[in-house]
Amino acid sequence: MPRSIAKWLTVSHLIAALAALLLVAFPIHDAGAASAPAVANAAAPVLAVTCQPASVTRPQPILPKGFTEQILLNGCLNQPTAISFTADKSRVFVAEKGGRVWNCDLASSTCTLFADLSSEVCNADDRGLLGLAVDPLNDANVWVLYTTPRGTGACGGNFLTAGQLSLLTASGETKVLPAAGATSQTWCFYYSSHSIGSVVFGSDNKTLYVSAGDGASFVQVDYGQLDNACGDGTNLPQGAFRSQGVSPYSDGVILRITNPGTSTQSVATVANGLRNPFRFARAPGLTDDLYIGNVGWNTWESIDHSSIAGQNFGWPCYEGPNTQPDYQATNYCGSVGGVTAPFFAYAHQSYVSAEDSKGKTCGGRPSGGGPDQNGSVISAIGFTDGTSPTYPAPYDKALYFGDLLRKCIWTMQPPDNTPHTFAKSLQGGPVDLKAGQNGDLFYVDLVTSTVRRITHK
């Protein structure tokens, strides 16, 4: 999760501890042990919560004419991070940062606990259960991506963690990447941000894509000289340069997992040179074009377009469209070449769109009342799917991206990368954007612990 979000994440450890006493954790199965069937826990109690009735947001964010925002799930969630819809869009699964997954009926605003992974999840700072995807071919299968402790003691601050991709069913959790009992880790993180991110299905509805941050320090230049917690710091460069493929860990990249959880599973890197690809989305259609929200450091936020395998987006030697001077000064950037420029980037001290510049809205230069150099974070990205009977053409099958600190959402129509302001003055901040019922845009608001829907009459 982006480091800028951390200040919003005040976790109630007492509530989490009490909840853990009431809920039953999933049993764990090894993806490689096909002969060991999952055993359902028939004695597990069913926990359900009723959300407040759906309501129109008051005050409304500033939206284009005809659009209205509704608060869909409210008063029943604790720090939601991600959503994923069933194929018929009647239900939505919601991940909470602390490790719970809810199955929510949109008709009744009732959520039933599907899984509680709180004993597995390192929920501190920007870490936690952050990625979620329902199988489009079988909504009884739910994939999750979370940070999990590798060390002992309380998980917080600088603490050794790993990433975990797992398959959840009504019978339990199957750890897939890495598999349960694996002797090596796929990801390694020591600092409190830049860990795992999103899990997304490919166009074949079978292949998975998952993202992870570089695992490096986010407060100073880190080429591996700061620590050796992950065991790779003796062969410099490491740190942020893990995103350049110099490490045994898949940090700072997007992975493609073919036949996940089967004996023929294969894993490949499709994009690297990413600082913190917390959120990314696949464009609607039959291709696997990925649009990646790449959280920047001091100057830029970027959207990177991955259209062919093997693209390098340049971090840490590049940030946004420019070279990164602090990392260039390490003299480790000489071998970093063939870098793909961002599809779109905006500077922390600039406005994102022409509308923002004209109206001095959605942050930008200090004269506009906007953020300072560290006051921007591309915290959500997603597409509408082209199925809405009510959304006007410029907003249907469009790309949307949000900035939690600027409290705004923008839209564009790739391959056109001209942004237009869509939503201003949000109550909180988006951390996940998805197309849902009626083709409408839904988003997760981490700050207010709600799921919201934007409709058009």
- Following DSSP, what letter does each residue of 154-220 receive, concatenated? ---SS--EEEEEEEEETTEEEEEETBTT-SS-S--B-SSSS-EEEEEE-TTSS-EEEEE-----SSS
Residue 287 resides in a domain: yes
Question: For residue 227, what is the domain's CATH number?
Answer: 2.120.10.30
Domain that holds residue 361: 3-30+45-456
347-397 pLDDT, tens digit each: 998 999 999 999 999 986 443 444 443 479 999 999 999 999 999 999 999
Q: Is the dihedral of CA 213, 214, 215, 219 positive or negative?
A: negative
Task: Report DSSP state, residue 394.
Answer: G
pLDDT band at 154 (very low <50, low <70, confident <90, very high): confident
273-295 pLDDT, tens digit each: 999 999 999 999 999 999 999 99
3-state SS assignment for residue 88: coil
Confidence at residue 364, expressed as pLDDT on a 0 to 100 scale: 61
Residue 305 structure tokens? 């377009």
CA–CA gap between residue 250 and residue 253 (Å, rounded): 6
What Rg value do the Cα atoms of the chain yield, rounded?
21
Strand partners, 124: none
Confidence at residue 13, expressed as pLDDT on a 0 to 100 scale: 32
Q: Distance between the two ends of the chain, CA-based, in angstroms? A: 34
Confidence at residue 46, expressed as pLDDT on a 0 to 100 scale: 79
Residue 253 resides in a domain: yes
Residue 39 resides in a domain: no
Residue 190 resides in a domain: yes
Confidence at residue 363, expressed as pLDDT on a 0 to 100 scale: 84
Residue 40 resides in a domain: no
- Collect all residues with Cβ–Cβ distance below 8 Å to 383 and sequence separation of at least 6: 281, 282, 283, 284, 291, 397, 398, 399, 400, 435
CA–CA gap between residue 323 and residue 341 (Å, rounded): 11
pLDDT band at 412 (very low <50, low <70, confident <90, very high): very high
Confidence at residue 1, expressed as pLDDT on a 0 to 100 scale: 62
CA–CA gap between residue 210 and residue 198 (Å, rounded): 6
pTM, rounded to two decimals:
0.90
CA–CA gap between residue 96 and residue 378 (Å, rounded): 20
Q: How many domains does the chain have?
A: 1
pLDDT band at 32 (very low <50, low <70, confident <90, very high): very low
Residue 304 resides in a domain: yes
